[in-house]
Amino acid sequence: MALDADAYAYGSVVTDTFAVFQSEAAWGTFVRAHGGIPAPLVGVDWTKEIVLGAFAGQTATDPAAVRITRVALLRDQILVTVEVTRPLTVSEGTPTPAPASPHHLVTIARGDLPSRVTPTVVFLDAAGRPLAWQALNVAPAPQPTRPTRPGARARFR
């Protein structure tokens, strides 16, 4: 699900940034680090979802738009394809005004995440080149305990 977050509300992201937010606290830390005032992301249930974010910097030569176009959930990776659009020019060399921090946020249901491995979220450009990656902290599935004596059976917790 795509989210609509006001770019000015979370401060200024001055460089291309690709991030995974697994909690409201992590989102708040990000917002504070970029000079914003933390506020809840409307529509996000942090107990059931995580948020993927793509942010474009704010200099005149940086992209005017960024969009997450595809999320592929694999066994040990989450591939996130990001499309970046350059600013249109009014006249030669004059970029059009762009939002302070172009961004796109999407959610993934926690239930859709791999449970037996620690997946890596890989952000890719449209050509499939890696832009950034981040290990995702998910609780592993219960593992059997070792038998304590010969012939004993393993138990699942």
pTM of the model: 0.74
Burial level of 150, CB count in 10 A (0-12/13-18/19+)?
exposed
State the pLDDT at residue 152: 47
- Of the two residues 147 and 53, the one the predictor is more confident about is 53
- pLDDT tens digits, 97-116: 544 678 899 999 999 988 77
| Dist. CA 61–CA 74, nearest whole Å | 34
Q: Give the contacts of 25 (CB within 8 A, at least 6 positions apart).
A: none
- Burial track 72-106 (b if 16+ CB lie within 10 A, e otherwise): eeeeebbbbbbebeebeeeeeeeeeebeebbbbbb
- Which helix (H) or strand (E) is 115 found in, with range? none
Secondary structure E strands in 60-124: 65-73, 77-85, 89-91, 94-95, 103-109, 120-124
Would you put residue 68 in left (φ > 0), alpha (ψ -120 to 50) or beta?
beta
With a cut of 80, say whether residue 93 has pLDDT above it: no
What percentage of the chain has pLDDT greater than the value 90?
A: 38
- Looking at every residue in the chain, the average pLDDT score rounds to 77
- pLDDT tens digits, 113-131: 887 788 899 999 999 999 9
